[in-house]
Amino acid sequence: MPAPLLIAAKDLRQRLRDRSALVIGLVAPLVIAALMSVAFRGVETFHFDLGVVDADGGPVAAQLVRALHAPELSPVITVRAQDSEFRAAAAVRSRTLQAAIVIPPGFSASMTGARPEPITTLASVNNALAASITSSIVSTFTAQLDADRLSVATAVAAGAPGGRVAALAGEAAGLRIPIQLVQRPVGSRELKPVSYYSPAMALFFLLFLITFTSRSFFVERAEGMIERMRAAPIRPSEILAGKALSVLVFGTASMGVLALVTTVAFGAYWGSPAAVAVVCLAMVVSVVCLTALVIGLARTQRQAEGIASAVVFGLALLGGNFVLVSAEPDLLRRLALLTPNGWALRAFTDLATRGGGLHTVAVPVLAILAFSAVAGVAAVSLSRRAVSA
């Protein structure tokens, strides 16, 4: 059997016997993906209890209450009537209610005056999403009221009789703002959090192979294993090829198992299997090149562990493995494109939303391979020197 295959087989046996490697490569990503799935399941089907205090009892307040009971809002909110603002605030503080709306006394009558009474929203700082939805509902309603008031004022200014103000207000109440905002998804699928964080965590722990492999190399060199290999005789290039092959096999198997399990058990959608396989292989090649670069830069096991940790966490933070890249500032989104895992996450996101096959991931894969080529070229001479040391 060729020497690189023997070295790769030896490294794989050692890695399979090492429980920490199995935990990092398989167990930890699955556990974190499961936690992400549970944590974000409530976000995908968000629903909250909204308290309503109608201290006015007038016709305009009744319109708002009817709007809150509309069928379109029932999947998001459940309206709970409250006796007073004090009780509503207490319910929000105790988290019995996630938010509340307070309609003040005289609200309906103030619509015909110069200074209408304001509507108050109550929300907890610990539930920003409920607060945002409540504010959006109230803002939409008040925008309609302002449009009605403006139309009546315009009619009066144009010469409408003052005695017809009430009739005009009634007619205006039946109108609706003609320009409406309609949200349409660009992708063919909604990006579920579990469909983003499953590959994100798989990529994050794939990067840990850099630490494991570089550390094992220096352990073997300290124990004289590298010198015995060279005395076999085995060329330095064959030793590097064997190490790279073990990383390639273990990394590919780890990504494949994680993709399969998260899809079946957690409902994650990675995309076309062929395209996913190509992206995973490109990322494994990138990890192989980065491992060789770390081995070449380090002189001792401690240096290798330090450099590898900096590389792993630096790439994970810049690439968006912990936070949705779309939620990051523009600068960080641009920096993510300097990392292979950032491009891989872009590929998985496109596959999960737009669908498609190999053409969808062509640009990300080429970017990952370009990064790998740069790291590989820099690592070749350094790694040979490390083996010969």
pLDDT in tens, 102-152: 999 988 878 766 778 888 999 887 788 888 889 888 888 888 777 766 766
The strand pair at 99-103 and 120-123 is best described as: antiparallel
- In which band, very low, low, confident or very high, does the pLDDT at 179 lie, cut at 50, 70 and 90? very low
User: Is the pLDDT reported for residue 160 higher than 70?
Assistant: no
Residue 161: helix, strand or coil by DSSP? coil
CA dihedral in degrees (328, 332, 335, 336; nearest 10)? -20
**pLDDT tens figures, 239-281:** 777 888 888 888 888 888 888 888 888 888 898 999 999 999 9
Lookup: tokens for 319: 């690439």
Residue 197, CA atoms < 13 Å, CB-side half-sphere: 22
d(CA 313, CA 325): 16
CA-derived radius of gyration, the chain? 31
Name which of 8, 7, 14 is nearest 229 in CA terms: 7
If you average pLDDT over residues 341-359, what whole number do you get?
A: 90
Query: Do the Cβ atoms of 6 and 178 come closer than 8 Å?
Result: no
Which architecture characterizes domain 48-173 according to CATH?
A: 3-Layer(aba) Sandwich (3.40)
Model pTM above 0.85: no
Domain with CATH 3.40.190.10 in the chain: 48-173
